[in-house]
């Protein structure tokens, strides 16, 4: 199994444009991958496009949760077909199931629930203390510095435009040896304008929610993405949207990994607006396997 691929290059268009779907039938849609090079589709892209496909069959309701499974590696050289099952339209809640298909096989499925907007009880845990995004470097620049001595092809890959800006003191594990606590805090936002459509702010946050999670689970074990024999991949992903958001602004992504066992790592995430409002929560389990050289 190949390791998870980083988010694709979308320099020629905004992320809103990249994620758009073509309607083939009433409940059938087709999406493209912008970086159609050999490898693997970034998991956040499939989450985002599946949520968008579900939204295309829902009116006047807001997604409050989604649960999904990564079944097969996505092929970036061919389109993805998204089939939506209109599971239920209730008085307050709407449920949709989306299956992503390539080469005649499921590569991913998602279940999402949508709710009529209503008032209710309110509470949340406070946002953890963290350095301001203003005092941290863009992760893309940090990555370029780490990769400056690599071959030209590798440097070109690392220099690609990244649609999500990420700032952290120690966000991802590329080549760094040693161990650390299974926790990470980073600031994230969409680099390009999203617009006024609240659905796209959720969709693009779902895209970004797949970033850095497995890196957090890797920290205690002294492995990084280039460790010989190391294999990783997202297995499942869940997300809950608590409050409205504007993902053109900075959000704090607080992650911890309470457990790793059986070749899998489990990670939790909380996403806060800069004013401390908890807008979303995330959970993911991923493959973490170290194959010893023969």
**Positions marked active-site:** 210, 234, 284
Radius of gyration of the chain (CA): 19
CB 253 within 8 A of CB 207: no
Pick the closest to residue 191 from 54, 18, 43 (CA basis).
18
Q: Using alpha carbons, list the distances in angstroms from residue 77 to 36, 39, 41, 59, 157.
A: 5, 9, 9, 32, 17
First to last CA, the chain: 17
Contact yes or no for 100/237 (Cβ under 8 A): no
DSSP, res 156: H
Cα dihedral across residues 293, 149, 190, 19: positive or negative: negative
Helix (H) or strand (E) holding 239: strand 230-241
Q: What are phi and psi of 256, to 5 degrees?
A: -145, 155
- DSSP H or E stretch at residue 94: strand 93-102
């Amino acid at each position: 199994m190949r390791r998870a691929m980083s988010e694709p290059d979308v320099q020629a268009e905004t992320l809103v444009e990249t994620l758009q779907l073509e309607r083939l039938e009433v409940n059938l849609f087709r999406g493209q991958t912008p970086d159609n090079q050999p490898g693997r589709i970034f998991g956040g892209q499939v989450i985002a496009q599946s949520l968008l496909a579900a939204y295309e069959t829902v009116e006047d309701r807001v997604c409050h949760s989604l649960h999904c499974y990564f079944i097969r590696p996505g092929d970036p050289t061919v389109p993805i077909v998204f089939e939506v099952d209109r599971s239920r339209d209730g008085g307050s809640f709407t449920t949709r199931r989306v299956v992503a298909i390539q080469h005649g096989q499921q590569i991913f499925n998602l279940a999402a629930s949508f709710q009529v907007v209503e008032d209710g009880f309110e509470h949340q845990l406070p946002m953890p203390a963290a350095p301001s995004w203003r005092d941290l470097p863009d992760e893309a620049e940090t990555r370029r510095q780490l990769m400056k001595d690599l071959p030209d092809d590798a440097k070109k890959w690392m220099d690609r435009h990244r649609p999500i800006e990420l700032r952290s003191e120690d966000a991802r594990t590329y080549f760094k040896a040693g161990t650390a606590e299974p926790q990470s805090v980073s600031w994230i936002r969409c680099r390009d304008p999203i617009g006024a459509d609240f659905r796209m702010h959720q969709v693009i946050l779902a895209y970004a929610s797949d970033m850095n999670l497995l890196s957090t689970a890797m920290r205690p074990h002294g492995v990084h993405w280039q460790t010989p024999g190391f294999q990783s991949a997202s297995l499942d992903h869940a997300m809950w949207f608590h409050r409205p958001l504007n993902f053109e602004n900075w959000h704090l992504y607080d992650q911890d990994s309470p457990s790793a066992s059986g070749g899998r790592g489990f990670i939790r995430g909380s996403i806060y607006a800069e004013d401390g409002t908890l807008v979303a929560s995330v959970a993911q389990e991923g493959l973490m396997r170290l194959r010893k050289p023969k």
